[in-house]
Structure 1
Amino acid sequence: MVHVRVDEQIKAQATETLAAMGLSLSDAVRVFLMRVVADRKMPFALRAPNAETRAAMAEADEIARTHRARFGSAAELFEDLEKNTGQ
Protein backbone atom coordinates (compact mmCIF):
# COMPACT_ATOMS: atom_id res chain seq x y z
CA MET A 1 0.00 0.00 0.00
CA VAL A 2 1.26 3.49 -0.86
CA HIS A 3 0.05 6.67 0.84
CA VAL A 4 0.69 9.95 -0.97
CA ARG A 5 -0.21 13.48 0.06
CA VAL A 6 -1.62 15.31 -2.94
CA ASP A 7 -3.58 18.55 -3.20
CA GLU A 8 -7.28 17.64 -3.53
CA GLN A 9 -7.73 19.77 -6.66
CA ILE A 10 -4.75 18.11 -8.39
CA LYS A 11 -6.06 14.69 -7.35
CA ALA A 12 -9.51 15.45 -8.76
CA GLN A 13 -8.09 16.79 -12.04
CA ALA A 14 -5.75 13.81 -12.38
CA THR A 15 -8.58 11.38 -11.62
CA GLU A 16 -10.75 13.00 -14.31
CA THR A 17 -7.93 13.06 -16.87
CA LEU A 18 -6.96 9.45 -16.18
CA ALA A 19 -10.59 8.32 -16.34
CA ALA A 20 -10.75 9.74 -19.87
CA MET A 21 -7.84 7.40 -20.67
CA GLY A 22 -9.59 4.45 -19.05
CA LEU A 23 -7.30 4.43 -16.01
CA SER A 24 -7.88 4.86 -12.31
CA LEU A 25 -5.46 6.80 -10.15
CA SER A 26 -4.25 3.50 -8.71
CA ASP A 27 -3.72 2.11 -12.23
CA ALA A 28 -1.62 5.16 -13.16
CA VAL A 29 0.54 4.86 -10.03
CA ARG A 30 1.08 1.15 -10.75
CA VAL A 31 2.08 1.92 -14.37
CA PHE A 32 4.45 4.64 -13.15
CA LEU A 33 6.12 2.32 -10.63
CA MET A 34 6.36 -0.50 -13.17
CA ARG A 35 8.16 1.85 -15.60
CA VAL A 36 10.56 2.96 -12.85
CA VAL A 37 11.41 -0.67 -12.12
CA ALA A 38 11.61 -1.75 -15.78
CA ASP A 39 13.72 1.21 -16.93
CA ARG A 40 15.57 1.78 -13.63
CA LYS A 41 14.96 5.52 -14.03
CA MET A 42 12.15 8.06 -13.98
CA PRO A 43 9.82 7.62 -16.96
CA PHE A 44 10.23 11.29 -17.88
CA ALA A 45 13.05 13.80 -17.95
CA LEU A 46 13.79 15.74 -14.78
CA ARG A 47 15.75 18.90 -15.35
CA ALA A 48 17.06 21.57 -13.06
CA PRO A 49 15.82 25.04 -13.98
CA ASN A 50 18.23 27.23 -15.93
CA ALA A 51 19.45 30.60 -14.63
CA GLU A 52 16.62 32.54 -16.29
CA THR A 53 13.97 30.25 -14.79
CA ARG A 54 15.61 30.37 -11.35
CA ALA A 55 15.60 34.19 -11.51
CA ALA A 56 11.90 34.21 -12.48
CA MET A 57 11.11 31.81 -9.64
CA ALA A 58 12.99 34.01 -7.16
CA GLU A 59 11.12 37.07 -8.45
CA ALA A 60 7.79 35.27 -8.07
CA ASP A 61 8.72 34.23 -4.53
CA GLU A 62 9.62 37.84 -3.67
CA ILE A 63 6.33 39.12 -5.12
CA ALA A 64 4.40 36.55 -3.11
CA ARG A 65 6.41 37.32 0.03
CA THR A 66 5.85 41.06 -0.17
CA HIS A 67 2.25 40.69 -1.41
CA ARG A 68 2.91 43.03 -4.30
CA ALA A 69 0.75 42.86 -7.42
CA ARG A 70 -2.06 40.68 -6.07
CA PHE A 71 -5.20 40.50 -8.20
CA GLY A 72 -8.62 39.07 -7.51
CA SER A 73 -9.22 38.10 -11.11
CA ALA A 74 -7.55 37.86 -14.50
CA ALA A 75 -9.49 40.95 -15.60
CA GLU A 76 -7.90 42.99 -12.77
CA LEU A 77 -4.48 41.73 -13.80
CA PHE A 78 -4.98 42.72 -17.43
CA GLU A 79 -6.35 46.14 -16.43
CA ASP A 80 -3.23 46.74 -14.34
CA LEU A 81 -0.95 45.55 -17.15
CA GLU A 82 -2.62 47.89 -19.63
CA LYS A 83 -2.48 50.80 -17.21
CA ASN A 84 1.22 50.26 -16.45
CA THR A 85 2.34 49.67 -20.05
CA GLY A 86 0.65 52.80 -21.41
CA GLN A 87 -1.83 50.98 -23.64
Structure 2
Amino acid sequence: MMAKSANLYVRIEPEIKEQAEKILSTLGIPASNAINMFYKQIILQRGLPFEVKIPERTPTDISTLGTEGLHVELEKGYVDMKAGRTKDAQNVFADIRKDYGL
Protein backbone atom coordinates (compact mmCIF):
# COMPACT_ATOMS: atom_id res chain seq x y z
CA MET A 1 0.00 0.00 0.00
CA MET A 2 1.36 3.41 -0.96
CA ALA A 3 1.92 6.10 1.64
CA LYS A 4 -0.57 8.93 1.55
CA SER A 5 1.51 11.94 0.64
CA ALA A 6 -0.51 13.97 -1.89
CA ASN A 7 -2.51 16.94 -0.69
CA LEU A 8 -5.83 18.10 -2.06
CA TYR A 9 -7.05 21.63 -1.41
CA VAL A 10 -10.64 22.50 -2.25
CA ARG A 11 -13.07 25.28 -1.49
CA ILE A 12 -16.51 24.19 -0.41
CA GLU A 13 -19.52 25.90 1.11
CA PRO A 14 -19.17 25.69 4.92
CA GLU A 15 -22.73 24.43 5.41
CA ILE A 16 -22.25 21.63 2.86
CA LYS A 17 -18.97 20.62 4.51
CA GLU A 18 -20.56 20.60 7.95
CA GLN A 19 -23.56 18.54 6.88
CA ALA A 20 -21.43 15.99 5.01
CA GLU A 21 -18.90 15.65 7.83
CA LYS A 22 -21.69 15.14 10.36
CA ILE A 23 -22.99 12.20 8.30
CA LEU A 24 -19.48 10.83 7.78
CA SER A 25 -18.81 11.10 11.51
CA THR A 26 -21.97 9.12 12.25
CA LEU A 27 -20.70 6.46 9.84
CA GLY A 28 -17.26 6.54 11.46
CA ILE A 29 -15.55 7.61 8.23
CA PRO A 30 -13.04 10.49 8.26
CA ALA A 31 -13.54 13.00 5.44
CA SER A 32 -10.13 12.16 3.96
CA ASN A 33 -11.11 8.47 3.72
CA ALA A 34 -14.42 9.38 2.05
CA ILE A 35 -12.60 11.52 -0.52
CA ASN A 36 -10.12 8.69 -1.12
CA MET A 37 -13.04 6.27 -1.65
CA PHE A 38 -14.65 8.74 -4.05
CA TYR A 39 -11.44 9.01 -6.10
CA LYS A 40 -11.07 5.21 -6.17
CA GLN A 41 -14.63 4.90 -7.47
CA ILE A 42 -13.88 7.45 -10.18
CA ILE A 43 -10.98 5.25 -11.27
CA LEU A 44 -13.02 2.02 -11.11
CA GLN A 45 -16.00 3.51 -12.94
CA ARG A 46 -13.81 5.49 -15.34
CA GLY A 47 -15.99 8.51 -14.57
CA LEU A 48 -18.19 9.82 -11.81
CA PRO A 49 -19.66 6.99 -9.73
CA PHE A 50 -23.16 8.44 -10.06
CA GLU A 51 -25.33 9.81 -12.81
CA VAL A 52 -25.04 13.52 -13.50
CA LYS A 53 -27.79 14.94 -15.64
CA ILE A 54 -30.29 17.73 -15.91
CA PRO A 55 -33.70 16.55 -14.67
CA GLU A 56 -36.28 16.06 -17.41
CA ARG A 57 -38.76 18.15 -15.50
CA THR A 58 -38.16 20.82 -12.92
CA PRO A 59 -40.75 22.00 -10.41
CA THR A 60 -42.98 24.75 -11.71
CA ASP A 61 -42.58 28.15 -10.05
CA ILE A 62 -46.20 29.26 -9.92
CA SER A 63 -45.18 32.83 -9.17
CA THR A 64 -44.00 33.08 -12.80
CA LEU A 65 -47.28 31.84 -14.29
CA GLY A 66 -50.11 33.95 -15.59
CA THR A 67 -53.73 33.00 -15.07
CA GLU A 68 -53.83 30.61 -18.04
CA GLY A 69 -50.57 28.89 -17.05
CA LEU A 70 -51.80 28.45 -13.48
CA HIS A 71 -55.03 26.88 -14.77
CA VAL A 72 -53.01 24.46 -16.94
CA GLU A 73 -50.92 23.37 -13.94
CA LEU A 74 -53.99 22.99 -11.72
CA GLU A 75 -55.65 20.89 -14.41
CA LYS A 76 -52.59 18.59 -14.55
CA GLY A 77 -52.86 18.10 -10.79
CA TYR A 78 -56.56 17.39 -11.03
CA VAL A 79 -55.98 14.79 -13.77
CA ASP A 80 -53.28 13.11 -11.63
CA MET A 81 -55.61 13.08 -8.64
CA LYS A 82 -58.46 11.52 -10.65
CA ALA A 83 -56.04 8.88 -12.03
CA GLY A 84 -54.87 7.98 -8.51
CA ARG A 85 -51.34 9.32 -9.01
CA THR A 86 -51.16 10.86 -5.56
CA LYS A 87 -49.28 10.31 -2.31
CA ASP A 88 -50.57 10.72 1.22
CA ALA A 89 -49.17 13.97 2.67
CA GLN A 90 -48.33 12.34 6.02
CA ASN A 91 -46.22 9.70 4.28
CA VAL A 92 -44.51 12.28 2.07
CA PHE A 93 -43.54 14.43 5.06
CA ALA A 94 -42.45 11.37 7.05
CA ASP A 95 -40.16 10.37 4.17
CA ILE A 96 -38.72 13.89 3.99
CA ARG A 97 -38.06 13.93 7.74
CA LYS A 98 -36.40 10.49 7.56
CA ASP A 99 -34.28 11.31 4.49
CA TYR A 100 -33.04 14.61 5.90
CA GLY A 101 -32.84 13.70 9.59
CA LEU A 102 -35.45 16.26 10.60
| TM-score after normalising by structure 1 | 0.56
Aligned-partner Cα distance in 1 for 2:17–2:54: 25
If the length of structure 2 is used for normalisation, what is the TM-score? 0.49
1:15 matched to 2:21: yes
Aligned residues: 57
Identity %: 29
Which moved further from structure 2: 25-34 or 41-50? 41-50
Gaps of at least 5 residues in structure 2 are 1-6, 65-102
Letter in 1 for 2:9: H
User: Which ranges of structure 1 fall in alignment gaps of 5 or more residues?
Assistant: 63-87
Q: Greater helix share, 1 or 2?
A: 1
TM-superposed CA distance for 1:43, in Å, is 0.8
1:4 to 2:4 alignment: no
How far does residue 49 in structure 1 lie from its aligned partner after superposition?
Answer: 2.5
Once the two structures are superposed, the pairs formed by residues 2-81 of structure 1 within 5 Å of their partners are 2-50=8-56, 52-53=57-58, 56=60
Structure 1 vs Structure 2 CA RMSD: 2.0
C-alpha distance in 2, partners of 1:13/1:26?
Answer: 15
Deviation >2 Å, runs of 4+:
none
- RCO higher in 1 or 2 (8 Å CA, sep ≥ 6)? 1
Larger Rg: 2
